[in-house]
Chains A and B, each alone.
Chain A
Amino acid sequence: MALAFDEFGRPFIILKEQEQKTRLRGLDAQRANISAGRAVARILRTSLGPKGMDKMLQSPDGDVIITNDGATILEQMDVDNQIAKLMVELSRSQDYEIGDGTTGVVVMAGALLEQAEKLLERGIHPIRIAEGYEMASRIAFEHLERISQKFEFSATDIEPLVQTCMTTLSSKIVNRCKRMLAEIAVKAVLAVADLDRKDVNLDLIKVEGKVGGKLEDTELIYGIVVDKDMSHPQMPKRIENAKIAILTCPFEPPKPKTKHKVDIDTVEKFQTLRQQEQQYFDDMVQKCKDVGATLVICQWGFDDEANHLLMHRNLPAVRWVGGVELELIAIATGGRIVPRFQELTPEKLGKAGLVREKSFGTTKDRMLYIEQCANSRAVTIFIRGGNKMMIEETKRSLHDALCVARNLIRNNSIVYGGGSAEISCSIAVDAAADRYPGVEQYAIRSLAEALDSIPLALAENSGLQPINTLTAVKSQQVKENNPFCGIDCNDVGTNDMKEQNVFETLIGKQQQILLATQVVKMILKIDDVIAPSDY
């Protein structure tokens, strides 16, 4: 560690307890950061593409997660290194913003860092590299817009959307049923989409999983599935044309928020209190009955007595339904959430065509289906699968597919997948580089090289000769002036991704390049790492 001395030759203390801190400066700091970033990218590199491998992660509690989703892997990885954490953040922000391409963005950033290291060794200043990357990313961004295509679909013609979702799903373990899952995802998104405003609220799609059965049994339910059963075992299991009262108050004696005491000092008081209590229960149930409800869904618990009264009055009820589910039920059935019995009116009831209880397997698992709702704008995807890990992974994969479908509804531009967009960008950036004078030219060219790393990784994971394949495709693109040539991962026999129907959203790709460049710029600008050393 460098020491500073004042004019009398005494050492200066700049940092508190600086002997105990490790410090890396200058080129060393950048190199260390770069290699940390690359290490993260290396882990994810093998998960890229349709033939990518999965990672098995064991959490601190011993649960096993098997996944292919970049964001999930990084989140569960328990990373300690600061720069590695930045990469984790990077993948997460891609996940929040776009929902898909979380692996690609990290691989891209890793490649950019790798290229930056070479440039640093040549003595190019990191800031210049960062600026060059910035310019190059803008070129790539614009180029992507140029090669993108508008892509037509409508509520009736969902085929193009299904194709896109299939591209996303093909890299996951569920690719056995990708066609079916893609259709489910698209139908779900279209059911909740606001096509005029081009907006989709994904919160309206509930993804519920239950272990058992086959993946093929996964279904889309136009309604809500709640993992609850009727509060009384003898209540009817099937209600048609249900009118639902959605309550957030318990079927219990009132508990005013202010502290109070009711003193009993005479027998009369004891008696009146008792009667009041009975009256109270009776009133609650009667009110529900009076407004014409045929099903009560309540956020809280029921007292035994209230439960029996409900049963007695032939009013089925469900208790302990979570807040989020309650909201969804309210949206789906067009009902209002009622916080007090007094405020219950017939208009506030939700309506559903069919409410039924369904049991699964040999254990007494039961779920409540609320279907044929007044407002079909809330749907549930109900996943079945061989084991817990499979279901979790299917949930994640479906989330990706849903995001892709949503992005397409927001902005219907697409680019072609299989690395074709990256190769095309790489060619464009490379060509543009020569127009820039100065050191930046090198950085721009490096970004072009880095873009190549995605098709390289794709080819490598698919068991193809990476260099051979890439060069062949690249020359084909230039020769035929066709930006749709990519890596033929599935061994279909054609390089033209347009024919293979492999596409990705434009915003997803653009975001990938922008985010990756941003993070790399940030990492490059760090020239001093001060960390407390181990103790």
Chain B
Amino acid sequence: MAVERLLKDEATEEKGDRARMASFIGAMAIADLVKTTLGPKGMDKILQSTGRGRNVTVTNDGATILKALHIDNPAAKVLVDISKVQDDEVGDGTTSVVVLAGELLREAEKLVNSKIHPMTIIAGYRMAAECARNALLEKAMDNKQDPEKFKSDLLNIAMTTLSSKILSQDKEYFAKLAVDAVLRLKGSTNLEAIQILKKPGGSLKDSFLDEGFILDKKIGIGQPKRIENAKILVANTAMDTDKVKIYGARVRVDSMTKVAEIEAAEKQKMREKVQKIIAHGINCFVNRQLIYNFPEELFADAGILAIEHADFDGIERLALVTGGEIASTFDNPESVKLGHCKLIEEIMIGEDRLIHFSGCEMGQACTIVLRGASQHVLDEAERSLHDALCVLTQTVNDSRVLLGGGWPEMVMAKEVDELARRTPGKKSHAIEAFSRALQAIPTIIADNAGLDSADLISQLRAEHHKERSTSGIDVISGGVGDMEKLGISESFKVKQAVLLSATEAAEMILRVDEIITCAPRKREDRM
């Protein structure tokens, strides 16, 4: 007797081969989707949001594309997730990781069809991943000792990362920009200290790195527009009425005169507060909260530059840059650390007026001002630059470097192939498949560039058979080239993360033999 309805209504269950098929197809579809964006000649995607305004994003960044998709297939969600994590952790390689996982699954599907048990495939993949990682470790170069070379490494990495993005036209310019910005950080991975400001207008080439700090705010009316040797107090305090915080306090009066008195007292209180602030001996006051007209006027009278409503990030960054502390009480002016900078002035970028702090105490922070034809271009440029900055900071910490252009994949594939030959048993099929999946990445790069991938890859493989080969795909000339000479490098950390998370994700999907989908939670129709 068959069981009717073991699960709740609308919940579905897929078993065995069908479940596996469903997850393979879902995962491969995702991989194919982002596949064409891989490499220096990869194409972009347009994403249109369903929300109000139907915002359009044009991008080449794997993580951004996948984040915007609404996906139903659970296996596909796994891939989206790994790309997101890759973005958070190392910032670049978000497309590669998905493509590699997709290729691994594609190879696995073939093996499953030829009746090899998924567990055997997993065992093989694991061995292969370990071997590939060792190969990478062995070939990674570390130039930390030599600052000159290290800097050129960084420059190469930045150029490689940027070459697949919209900034590829000016990649040298932007690579230098990014490297300069990152080197200022002196090893910290705190990207908050690098501010990216987008202002439409001009061309991408007009973008620049500013050593100081730029705050997108206006200076209060009647206050000085230019201050030299500024002493800055960064604050987070209410500059409106400064209400009494004791719970339940309220004003209850019986005559108009008393109202007036209390109002005067309030005003007095504010005046005192302003006096206290001024007593710090400052000439610039930046507050996170609003500054009402009355205190603003007081500040203007005292010849102090008051900036209101700087957001949290702005405040924290400003405090970091100028070396001041964020203050909320003003009773002991002698012990509050003030921020210093050489010059504060109002500058114009395009149509907008901004406040520029230069000659700051801490040289870590800087601002990159991006200019470009349209908001879309700027958004994409920001994403690209963010990728480059992420990779660079990671590289500063873990200075091992690999060559690019499909070189690491070919090195790994070669080692893995060797391993396959040494391994007895069914596992060797899986190991071989792993090597094929690795080779798929240079193949896709070549395909995307419109080159004859079959020919190129075979040439490349032959090259790599020699010891210490440095050849990879040279997309520009359309042939096999020496990556070392061309200066195409990648960060070891990114490659390793790609390899490990792609294998992990493929393994996870392979292990599944049943998918149970619960009925989607019903949403109340509020219309």
The interface of chain A, by Cβ under 8 A from chain B, is 28, 31-32, 35-36, 39-40, 43, 46, 51, 53-62, 64, 66, 68, 73, 76-81, 84, 173, 176, 211-215, 232-234, 252-256, 259-267, 270-271, 273-274, 276-278, 280-281, 303-305, 307-309, 311-312, 359-365, 385-390, 462-463
Contacts and interface: CB of A to CB of B under 8 A. Distances in A.
Contacts of B514: 43, 46, 53, 55-56
Contacts of B190: 359, 364
A281 B320 CA distance: 26
B375 interface: no
A267 B265 contact: yes
Nearest to B244: A273
Given A304-B237, A307-B328, A312-B332, A78 B11 contact: yes
Contact of B519 (A78, A253, A263, A303): A78
Contacts of B3: 32, 35-36, 39, 81
Contacts of A66: 78, 508, 511-512
B8 interface: yes
Contact of A252 (B192, B245, B316, B521): B245
Contacts of A304: 236-238, 328
B250 A55 contact: no
A213 B81 contact: no
Contacts of B329: 278, 281, 305, 308-309, 312
A271 B265 contact: yes
Interface string B309-351: 0000000100110000111110110011000000000000000
A173 B511 contact: yes
B245 A57 contact: no
B525 interface: no
Contacts of B320: 233
Contacts of B261: 266-267
Contacts, number: 241
B269 A274 contact: yes
A263 B252 contact: yes
A77 B518 CA distance: 7
Contacts of B11: 77-78
A431 to B, nearest CB: 34
Interface in B78-121: 78, 81-82, 84-85, 87-91, 117-120
Contacts of B72: 62
Contacts of A387: 78, 81-82, 84-85, 501, 504-505
A463 B19 contact: no
A212 B88 contact: yes
Contacts of B265: 267, 270-271
25 contacts: A35-B3, A55-B514, A58-B515, A60-B519, A78-B516, A80-B8, A81-B5, A232-B326, A233-B319, A233-B320, A234-B325, A262-B250, A270-B265, A271-B265, A273-B249, A281-B329, A304-B238, A305-B329, A308-B326, A360-B89, A362-B191, A386-B82, A386-B504, A389-B78, A389-B81
A62 B517 CA distance: 9
Q: Which 9 A-B pairs have the closest CB atoms?
A: A308-B328, A53-B513, A60-B521, A386-B501, A54-B511, A212-B89, A386-B504, A58-B517, A262-B249
Contact of B246 (A259, A262, A361, A362): A262
Given A234-B325, A261-B248, A262-B248, A386 B85 contact: yes
Contact of B254 (A252, A265, A312): A265
Contacts of B319: 233-234
**Interface SS majority for chain B:** mixed
B516 A253 contact: no
Interface centre among B88, B326, B514, B520 (most CB of A within 10 A): B514
A264 B74 contact: no
B251 interface: yes
A124 B115 CA distance: 43
Interface string B62-78: 00000000001011011
B286 interface: no
Contact of A176 (B84, B126, B189): B126
Given A77-B7, A78-B518, A265 B253 contact: yes
B256 interface: no
B519 A36 contact: no
Interface of B: 1-3, 5-9, 11, 13, 19, 23, 72, 74-75, 77-78, 81-82, 84-85, 87-91, 117-120, 126, 189-192, 236-238, 244-254, 258, 261-262, 264-266, 269, 316, 319-320, 325-329, 331-332, 335-336, 390, 393-394, 500-501, 504-505, 507-508, 511-521
A79 B85 CA distance: 32
B508 A389 contact: yes
Nearest to B319: A234
Nearest to B394: A362
Nearest to A311: B325
Contacts of B236: 304, 308
A51 B72 CA distance: 28
B274 to A, nearest CB: 15
B327 A308 contact: yes
Contact of B328 (A35, A79, A176, A305): A305
A3 B253 CA distance: 81
A254 B248 CA distance: 10
Contacts of B336: 312
Contacts of B253: 264-265
A264 B250 CA distance: 6
Contacts of A254: 246-247
A268 B403 CA distance: 75
B516 A64 contact: no
A32 B262 contact: no
Nearest to B237: A304
A259 B6 CA distance: 54
Given A60-B520, A80-B7, A267 B264 contact: yes
Given A78-B519, A270-B265, A307-B328, A253 B90 contact: no
A80 B316 CA distance: 53
B489 to A, nearest CB: 19
Contacts of A265: 251-254, 258
